[in-house]
Structure 1
């Protein structure tokens, strides 16, 4: 068995700290964490501390699909590391690392000046996937989730 690695990057117009916190607040999390069409969130429980566990009960066609794991590292506002286990991983632990990097312009200046809004590059890496099907399913799911975060953050920042 040769473990596979998935890597996804997404640029979002928001500060790293705001995006980071959206991953750790259960109420906010349940508003944007949707992995595809027809997927809903039944409940979210987050014990956001190293060693703390989380449970995300997604719904599809009337069925509850639990996704669970444990936080390994929480380095606000730059890095989250946690295990991820679900039916789609054959109930095996995988490892997810998410980094939040402020994007700088070509001159090396912070983009958070008076003319530009802050921007963040989110990089999501999932390790220990076993099959190409798992990689494909998780690529689709995480891409939709990051799109949901982008959309929700855009609405959140308008308030």
Structure 2
């Protein structure tokens, strides 16, 4: 078995701190964390601290699909690292790192700042095969697009 790595990126027109905090507030998170058209969120519980756990109960065709993990690193507003376990990882722990890079330009000569721009980079490690890579690529891509749409509201 050669564990594989998936990388998904999305440039979002929003402040880096606001985007970071959207990942750690259960109420906000449940509004945007959607991995596909047919997927819903039943419930979200979070204990956002290193060693704290989270549980995301997604729904599909009337079934609840638990996704759970543990926060390893919370470095506001730059980096989140957590384990990720679900049916799509064969109930094995995998590792997700989300980084938030502020791309906002500041024109120091004029003291002007552009509208906020953040690059969200998600790296998912320890996936076992091409099927897991494909499933998670679709899921994480949809999730980052949902975050972009939610944050723009």
| Both structures adopt the same fold (TM-score exceeding 0.5) | yes
Pair 115,101 (structure 1): closer, same or farther in 2 beyond 3 Å: closer
Q: Does 1:129 align with 2:127?
A: yes
Aligned position for 1:139: 137
TM-score (norm 1): 0.92
Alpha-carbon separation, structure 2, partners of 1:43 and 1:4: 29
TM-score (norm 2): 0.95
1:53-93 deviation line (CA, Å, top 9, x unaligned)? 00000000000000000000000000000000000000000
1:77-131 deviation line (CA, Å, top 9, x unaligned)? 00000000000000000000000000144xx758xx7462100000000000001
Unaligned stretches of 5+ residues in structure 2: none
Aligned position for 2:65: 65
Alpha-carbon separation, structure 2, partners of 1:71 and 1:120: 22
Runs of 4 or more off by more than 4 Å in structure 1? none
Q: How many residues align?
A: 151
Aligned position for 2:28: 28
Unaligned stretches of 5+ residues in structure 1: none
Structure 1 position 12, deviation (Å):
0.2
Structural RMSD (CA): 1.4
What SS does the corresponding residue of 1:148 show, helix, strand or coil? Answer: helix
Does structure 1 conserve the Cα–Cα contact (< 8 Å) formed by 2:104 and 2:115? no
Does structure 1 conserve the Cα–Cα contact (< 8 Å) formed by 2:81 and 2:95? yes
Q: Does 1:47 align with 2:47?
A: yes
Alpha-carbon separation, structure 2, partners of 1:46 and 1:73: 14
Aligned position for 2:92: 92
Does structure 1 conserve the Cα–Cα contact (< 8 Å) formed by 2:104 and 2:113? no
Alpha-carbon separation, structure 1, partners of 2:29 and 2:36: 15
Aligned position for 2:16: 16
